[in-house]
Amino acid sequence: MFTKTITPKTTSVTIELPDEYIGKNVKVTASVEVPKNYEKLTLAERLEHIKNTYSKFPRKDLSKLKFDRDEANDFE
């Protein structure tokens, strides 16, 4: 197992793997780490952390989304 913590500066990231990984199937998983003192933060500080972490992602306007449950369940 190979673990590396990075702080990306852009949306494109290049990683270097150990030589023994060459020619093998490699699974790459990305996740945002929670600060070590997260449990000690107040509710307001936790909400601010969540806001700062996820506000960078693009938002989608779903106000015009139409969902017809009957149509979705009609398999014939």
The model's confidence at residue 44, banded by pLDDT at 50, 70 and 90, is very high
How far is 48 from 38, CA to CA, in rounded Å? Answer: 12
Four-point Cα dihedral 26, 6, 48, 59, nearest 10: -50
Note whether residue 52 is domain-resident: yes
Note whether residue 6 is domain-resident: no
Note whether residue 66 is domain-resident: no
Note whether residue 29 is domain-resident: no
Q: In this predicted model, what pLDDT tens digit does every residue of 10-40 receive, in sequence order?
A: 889 888 888 999 999 999 888 888 777 777 8
> How many CA within 13 A on the CB side of residue 7?
1
Note whether residue 40 is domain-resident: yes
**Domain span at residue 45?**
35-59
Per the structure, the count of domains in the chain is 1
Assess contact for 14 and 6: CB atoms under 8 A.
no
Q: In this predicted model, what pLDDT tens digit does every residue of 55-71 receive, in sequence order?
A: 888 888 889 998 888 88
Note whether residue 1 is domain-resident: no
Note whether residue 16 is domain-resident: no
